[in-house]
Amino acid sequence: MSRPQQITVLGATGSIGLSTLDVIARHPERYQVFALSGYSRLSELLALCVRHTPRFAVVPEAGAARTLQDDLRAAGLSTRVLVGEEGLCQVASDPEVDAIMAAIVGAAGLRPTLAAVEAGKKILLANKEALVMSGALFMQAVRKSGSVLLPIDSEHNAIFQCMPQDFARGLGAVGVRRILLTASGGPFRQTPMAELSHVSPEQACAHPNWSMGRKISVDSASMMNKGLELIEACWLFDAKPSQVEVVIHPQSVIHSLVDYIDGSVLAQLGNPDMRTPIANALAWPERIDSGVAPLDLFAIARLDFQEPDEERFPCLRLARQAAEAGNSAPAMLNAANEVAVAAFLDGRVRYPEIASIIEEVLNLEPVVAVDDLEAVFTADAKARVLAGQWLSRHGR
């Protein structure tokens, strides 16, 4: 039998990272953990190292690295600790690595993920922000290196599964008319609009169907998550924004659909558990057990659909506008959103102000071409400064 595949998990201490390790641990004959990274909660990273015995662990700074290295030695492990973005890029591109799970949240995931792409690794992409920021450059790098790019986002993994068989061989989305991107509508789908000014971070993070990290939970509440996913879908499936329709489906059982020109509509269904798309991508084109319970259609009984209301969800409108504008607009949208969501989670801005901050940033800064990574990070930095100015002007 061939040797187990060597997997690097970037963002191992997060929600996707932990689900990935759960699936990997079910298949020790197929997968071995090569490296794990964590940014905070480093005692949890230590426990993960003890459990999965990686060759490398990556932490954000030297002090944390020394502590973790001492603790690992004391536990009898030979895991080597690396530091910062350089360490992340190293474990993402190491010649021994077969695949990486890109599960760092936000813009911080871009450089390490690109390092893995450039090294021709199989990329399991959860970090949608990387693709939103630099879609054209990212996809160009994928084509150049011959990397296999597999979406982890449940919707995009569903779409991938519903695409024509030859899609994964680079033959395009032949016969596809539309992509129907499903959204749960989040915790505020029915909250009276007047109450939205008073919702707390805890309410925003209490997602009805999915258990996720705090940033993506707020994005789901505002539907910015769906906006980012719309942009992500355009890059992954070579679609125009007008070909992607968002459909609110509160049960989160249909994870998305593909509409073909002959009228066939293919959907992927399953329980809302990220271990399904993770197992699908890890084993692709084979199938493995993910630990997810079989779908019980009788218990679900009904599936509902609804058109999104852009007045209730202005972030969805802003993301669609950024998708249409292209160039630097998605990177600015993403960066402004990251600042606004962090401020909301810290209790410094009210929930409706997230959209106000993003809208102001997009209105103030003209859209420019982004021909290289530097231009992407310049756009990202400008948006962060402008969002910061909104905060200081409002005394936050």
Q: Which residues of 213-237 are buried (b: 16+ CB within 10 A; e: fewer)?
A: bbbbbbbbbbbbbbbbbbbbbbbbb
Q: Measured in Å, how far apart are the chain's first and last C-alpha atoms?
A: 59
- Give 40 or 197: the residue with its C-beta nearer to ligand NAD: 40
Choice from 32, 123, 133, 153 touching ligand NAD (CB under 6 A): 153
If one asks whether residue 39 binds ligand NAD (CB under 6 A), the answer comes out as yes
Choice from 38, 186, 227, 314 touching ligand NAD (CB under 6 A): 38
Q: Closest Cα to residue 83, out of 71, 91, 94?
A: 91
Scanning residues 97 to 116, which ones bind ligand NAD (CB under 6 A)? 103-105, 108
Choice from 94, 153, 232, 360 touching Mg ion (CB under 5 A): 153
Q: How far is the CB of 235 from ligand NAD (least distance, A)?
A: 15
Q: Which does 268 bind (CB under 5 to 8 A by kind): Mg ion, ligand NAD, none?
A: none
If one asks whether residue 186 binds ligand NAD (CB under 6 A), the answer comes out as no
Handedness of CA 64, 67, 71, 73 (dihedral sign): positive
If one asks whether residue 273 binds ligand NAD (CB under 6 A), the answer comes out as no
Q: How far is the CB of 194 from ligand NAD (least distance, A)?
A: 29
If one asks whether residue 94 binds ligand NAD (CB under 6 A), the answer comes out as no
The greatest distance separating any two alpha carbons of the chain, rounded to the nearest whole angstrom, comes to 63
Choice from 14, 54, 270, 314 touching ligand NAD (CB under 6 A): 14
Stretch of 53-61, 104-112, 150-158, 387-395 contacting Mg ion, by CB under 5 A: 150-158
Q: In degrees to the nearest 10, what's the CA dihedral of 171, 275, 270, 165?
A: 10
- For 168, residues 6+ apart whose C-beta sits below 8 A from its C-beta are 148, 160, 284, 285
If one asks whether residue 7 binds ligand NAD (CB under 6 A), the answer comes out as no
Stretch of 34-42, 135-143, 166-174, 352-360 contacting ligand NAD, by CB under 6 A: 34-42
* Residue 376, both tokens: 């992407």
Binding residues for ligand NAD, per CB under 6 A? 11-17, 38-40, 103-105, 108, 126-129, 153, 210, 212-213, 215-216, 274
